[in-house]
Amino acid sequence: MPNEFAVEMKGIAKRFPGIVANDDIHLQVRKGEIHALLGENGAGKTTLMNILFGLYQPDEGEIRIHGQTVKITDPKKAIDLGIGMIHQHFMLVEPYTVLQNIILGAEPRRGVMISYKKALARIGELSDKYGLHVDPHRTIREISVGMQQRVEILKTLYRGADILIFDEPTAVLTPQEIQELMAIMRKLADEGKTIILITHKLKEIMAIADRVTIIRRGRVVDSLPVRDTTAEELAAKMVGRNVSFVIEKKEAQPGETILEIDNLTAFDDRGCQALRGLSLEVRSGEILGIAGVEGNGQRELIEVLTGLRKASSGEIRLRGRAVQNESPRRIAEAKVGYIPEDRQKRGLVLDFCVGENLVLKNYYAPPFCKRGLLRYDEIFGHAAGLIGEYDIRTPDEKTPARALSGGNQQKVIVAREVACEPDLLIATQPTRGLDVGAIEFIHRKLIEQRDKGKAVLLYSLELDEILNLSDRIAVMYEGRIVGILDPRKTNEQEIGLLMSGGHKGEREETA
Amino acid sequence: MTGFVKRLFSESTLIPVVSILIGLILGAVIMLAGHYNPFLAYGSLFAKAFGDMYNFGETIRQITPYIFTGLAVAFAFRTGLFNIGAEGQFIMGAVAAACVGVLLDAPWFLHVPLALAASALAGGLWGSIVGYLKAARGVHEVITTIMLNWIALHAANYIVRTALLEKGMARSKYIQESAWLSSPGLSELFDHARIHYGVLIALALSVLFYYVLWKTRQGYELRAVGFNPDASEYAGINVKSTFVKTMFISGLFAGVGGACEVMGVFHYQTINAAFPGYGLMGIAVALIGRNTAVGVVLGAVLIGVLTYGASGMKFGAGVPEELIHVVIALVIFFVAAGGMVELLIRRFRKKNGTVH
Ligand SMILES: Nc1ncnc2c1ncn2[C@@H]1O[C@H](COP(=O)(O)OP(=O)(O)OP(=O)(O)O)[C@@H](O)[C@H]1O
Ligand SMILES: [Mg+2]
């Protein structure tokens, strides 16, 4: 059968200044299968898919779609060929409605007018068929990240895509949303759509993919059916060594209280009360994990703690000194480090080079700045050290952060915040978008901080991460802490129950 | 050396150059359509601008204010602010210099710096109003700058009329000679053209522009804010005060430009019925120069040569002066639509098989 493969990429090579992103890559994706792409941060997955979607031109190689050799000169061509891509960073027009976003550039017309009716009917059809329910009249700003992703999927389907590329779709989703997305992907595949899925989460590959191709440093290492392999084997193939999934750590040695939060209240962007009298303590030498269903005030709590949002009442003390409503700079100077959730919005200035980004928090202090003048030799020296230590894959420290792969951007942030040696490290989704090897490394770094007697406040949507790393778990519900749990004595069920507001009241104090 | 060559052919230099060429060629097409000889026209334009020492000096005089306003616009751009108000800041600087120049008696080594300082302050403060309104009230800078331009125009006229007026004239009294930036020696060299030391100040400020932007803490902060205000806030940068500071420096550039016109060229301040137009042209200069110091100087040279040479075109080839404005507009259009030119360059390169 000549048409067995929906996508064939042969001998694809792509070079960027100072780096070979793709080096003779072969990829074959069967029609109707879910094909996972696995590889370390910077291995070249996104680049390969950008080539398939016409965003980059390969330096060498050939692409066949349904057996036909094609030249994909731009995304428009890709769309014409039935290829759709759901990018990791969404490309939606925020003030526009869902409907307007879906039809943007492909508006059905009646004369010069846009026929919204026709569009609505078509979108309704697609939503029903694949279980992609969205309210077409809400604006993008008003809907959750999970919903925005559905809009992206609908956008591609609306343009008639039958090959869908997902670039780390689950990195930004809550566990609930991930479940829903998996169901949608399964449905799409069952309806004959071909899916290429980039993800770092081996669990997801094992659960949903039919085949997996592993890429390391721009080359294909292996391509095999998922049923013939295990998560451990995949991890080993991908990083070239055995990866430990269990986190080894000593007993915590909690010391003095570093952070005290007392009866804190704050409002969210829409003016609703997000924190309703929250109290919490974090001690030195412990990792305190915050668990909670997204939207229960976690984001607001962290923004208030870091000075990015005003508290309406209550007190925050760092080593006994009240710091609520101080500026982000003052709080950072009180030795608080912060790994933000949204790396491209908050964490990095993408147009700054890696070196400049690595001093984003302390560019103004010696040795990086003296008498108002920046000392770039110091800045770049500092950067070179961290690039080595954190294995940040970049041609050099003068490369703009924008040119780094998603995972390597994340490493820049983690390196910067940990390198400041803060007394309190607030880590929100610190391993988002990282490969298993890098995750292991970052986890070790967090534990190392703890063992040095620092306090770590961890917030992650991944319950596994919270359970494995934390010494105590604080469960958040509707703007309050509803329970403090000992991770050794609890399980996902109990946490899940508390997170959904289940049984309140009974609080367990840890020693 | 190869680095330099590479830079020369990099897209960021090629785009403005190609845009300018397209503008000039389209201008030629339009001239042809109007039955003018474009070769003769461009020839006489350049002959006018560079033909003799006098005109060469005058061309430099024409270029000078464009450097100042170009720097002003480019600087604000780096913080993500669109400063349409260089016009007003320019006027405020000019009138401040006129006040100090007319009303104060001092030896030149005090008078000149004082007048320049006053203009820097006036322009800077005029700019920081914009920054303040943006920071404190969230008013968009395009709106405030446009409004402040009008206020500056009329305020300056009022000041000249009430405090500095030369009886019976629509201008101020002459400023004291001790406040002149003109130099008889320099002027002599250029066959009595009105070239003045302001051009050196402009070049010095271009160096300062580069230095502040790339070497100082302040420059780091304002570039960060320009690229990503959210990340800047996270980094502890005070975004609001950065707006104010940037607009002060931006306005300072324009203000000193205004002073140089008064102190170097006219030696008085006229009562303006309309905007002199240097500030608006500064937007074009910044665009052409891609907000870099060197780019701004080159952009100012281009615009200066074109505007000054325009009269040559009129006499040499009978082309109406308006047409040169069309050409300038075309150049600006293509620079602004850089994406279009970029595509063109890419196409061209692909056809020729060049790998970038
Ligand atoms: N536009 C670009 N300019 C320069 N280098 C780039 C560009 N895009 C990607 N690279 C480099 O190519 C390499 C591969 O990047 P790519 O984004 O494909 O990695 P990835 O496999 O998707 O990694 P991750 O899992 O971290 O997202 C990286 O080293 C990256 O720095
Ligand atoms: Mg990627």
Secondary element (H or E) of residue A157: helix A145-158
Q: Who among B217, B223, B236 is closest to A327 (CB)?
A: B236
Give pLDDT, residue B31.
87
Question: Exposed/middle/buried for A151, CB within 10 Å: 0-12, 13-18, 19+?
Answer: buried
Q: Is the separation of the CB atoms in B335 and B27 below 8 Å? A: no
d(CA A268, CA A262): 18
Q: Give the ligand at the shortest distance from the Cα of A51.
A: 1
Residue B40: inside a domain, yes or no? no
Class of the CATH-defined domain A5-239: alpha beta
pLDDT band at A337 (very low <50, low <70, confident <90, very high): very high
Asked whether A44 lines ligand 1 (CB < 6 A), one says: yes
Token match 């992907």: residue? A185
Residue to substitute from A305, A349, A353, interface B, most B β-carbons within 10 A: A349
Q: Is the separation of the CB atoms in A404 and A394 below 8 Å? A: yes
Of A408, A399, A412, nearest to A16 by C-alpha is A399
Token match 């940068």: residue? B237
Write the CA distances from B268 to A54, A190, B259, integer angstroms: 61, 82, 10
Amino acid letter, residue A190:
D
Of A23-37, A94-108, A376-390, B213-227, the least confident: A94-108
Note whether A349 contacts B227, CB cutoff 8 Å: yes
Omega of the bond leading into A367 within 30 degrees of 0 (cis): yes
Residues A39-74 as b/e (b if ≥16 CB within 10 A, e otherwise) read bbbbbbbbbbbbbbbbbbebeebebbbbeeebebee
Residue B331: inside a domain, yes or no? no
Q: Who among B216, B227, B237 is closest to A351 (CB)?
A: B227
d(CA A474, CA A486): 9
Give pLDDT, residue B157.
95
Give the torsion through C-alpha atoms of A400, A406, A409, A415, to 10 deg: -160
Residue B154: inside a domain, yes or no? yes
Give pLDDT, residue A433.
87
Residue B308: inside a domain, yes or no? no
Distance in Å, alpha carbon of B101 to nearest chain A alpha carbon: 34
- Count of structural domains, chain B: 1
Residues of A in contact with B234 (CB under 8 A): 306, 308, 328, 338, 340, 346-347, 360
> What are the pLDDT digits (tens) for A271-323?
899 999 999 999 999 999 999 888 899 999 999 999 999 999 999 999 999 99
SS3 for A117-141 is HHHHHHHHHHHHHHCCCCCCCCEHH
Q: Give the ligand at the shortest distance from the Cα of A199.
A: 1
Give pLDDT, residue A1.
47
> What are the pLDDT digits (tens) for B59-115?
999 999 999 999 999 999 999 999 999 999 999 999 999 999 999 999 999 999 999
Q: Which tokens is A395 given?
A: 């041609």
Query: What are residue B196's DSSP bridge partners?
Result: B182
Q: Which residues on chain A place their C-beta less than 8 Å from a C-beta of chain B? A: 59, 306, 308, 327-329, 332-333, 338, 340, 345-352, 356, 360-361, 363-364, 369, 372-374
Secondary element (H or E) of residue A178: helix A175-190
Token match 């920046």: residue? A374
Residue B355: inside a domain, yes or no? no
Residue nearest to atom 9 of ligand 1 (CA): A403
> What are the pLDDT digits (tens) for B297-335?
999 999 999 889 888 888 888 888 787 788 778 877 877
Which residue of chain B comes nearest to A416, CA vs CA? B235
d(CA A32, CA B321): 67
DSSP of B1-58, one letter per residue? -HHHHHHHTSHHHHHHHHHHHHHHHHHHHHHHHTT--HHHHHHHHHHHHHSSHHHHHH
d(CA A423, CA A218): 39
Residue A216 has pLDDT above 60, yes or no: yes
d(CA A403, CA A56): 13
Distance in Å, alpha carbon of B77 to nearest chain A alpha carbon: 15
> What are the pLDDT digits (tens) for B5-28?
555 566 677 777 888 888 888 888
> Span A266-272, mean pLDDT?
90
d(CA B162, CA B98): 13
Q: Which tokens is A320 given?
A: 């006994």
> What are the pLDDT digits (tens) for A409-448?
999 999 999 998 999 999 999 998 899 888 988 999 999 9
Ligand 2 midpoint to CA A167 (Å): 7
| Domain edges within chain A | 5-239, 244-335+421-511, 350-416
Note whether A374 contacts B235, CB cutoff 8 Å: no
Q: Is the separation of the CB atoms in A215 and A435 below 8 Å? A: no
Cβ contacts of A244 within 8 Å, gap of 6 or more: A440
Which residue of chain B comes nearest to A302, CA vs CA? B234
More confident call, A244 vs A479: A479
Residue nearest to atom 2 of ligand 1 (CA): A403
Give the torsion through C-alpha atoms of B187, B192, B193, B196, to 10 deg: 20
d(CA B293, CA B311): 29
Third-level CATH fold of A244-335+421-511 = Rossmann fold (3.40.50)
More confident call, B240 vs A110: B240
Of A511, A469, A504, nearest to A483 by C-alpha is A504
Of A360, A353, A351, A362, nearest to A397 by C-alpha is A353
For β-strands A163-167 and A83-86, DSSP reports them as parallel
Ligand 1 midpoint to CA A440 (Å): 21
More confident call, B335 vs A43: A43
User: Is the dihedral angle over the CA atoms B226, B227, B232, B233 positive or is it negative?
Assistant: positive
pLDDT band at B350 (very low <50, low <70, confident <90, very high): low
d(CA B17, CA B45): 19
Give pLDDT, residue A249.
83
d(CA A22, CA A15): 7
> What are the pLDDT digits (tens) for B266-298?
999 999 989 999 998 999 899 888 899 999 999
DSSP of A76-108, one letter per residue? HHHHHTTEEEE-SS----TTSBHHHHHHTTS--
Of B293, B302, B311, nearest to B330 by C-alpha is B302
Note whether B216 contacts A308, CB cutoff 8 Å: no
Residue B55: inside a domain, yes or no? no
Give pLDDT, residue B6.
59
Residue to substitute from A360, A368, A376, A379, interface B, most B β-carbons within 10 A: A360
pLDDT band at B355 (very low <50, low <70, confident <90, very high): very low
Residue B25: inside a domain, yes or no? no
For β-strands A211-216 and A34-39, DSSP reports them as parallel
pLDDT band at A511 (very low <50, low <70, confident <90, very high): very low
pLDDT band at A325 (very low <50, low <70, confident <90, very high): very high
pLDDT band at B354 (very low <50, low <70, confident <90, very high): very low
Average pLDDT in chain B: 89
Residue spans of alpha helices (H) in chain B: 2-8, 11-33, 38-50, 53-78, 86-103, 108-132, 141-159, 184-189, 198-215, 217-227, 229-234, 239-260, 278-288, 293-317, 321-336, 338-351
Biggest CA pair distance of chain A: 73
Residue B30 has pLDDT above 80, yes or no: yes
d(CA B157, CA B165): 10
Of A151, A156, A55, nearest to A106 by C-alpha is A156
Residue B56: inside a domain, yes or no? no
Residues of A in contact with B232 (CB under 8 A): 349
Of A143, A193, A161, nearest to A86 by C-alpha is A161
Note whether B235 contacts A360, CB cutoff 8 Å: yes
Strand runs labelled E in A304-451: 313-318, 321-322, 336-339, 369-370, 373-374, 424-428
Which residue of chain B comes nearest to A402, CA vs CA? B227
Of A105-119, A362-376, B130-144, the least confident: A105-119
Task: Determine the number of helices (DSSP H) and then strands (DSSP E) in chain A.
Answer: 16, 24
Asked whether A16 lines ligand 1 (CB < 6 A), one says: yes
Residues of B in contact with A352 (CB under 8 A): 223-224, 227
Asked whether A45 lines ligand 1 (CB < 6 A), one says: yes
% of chain A exceeding 70 in pLDDT: 98
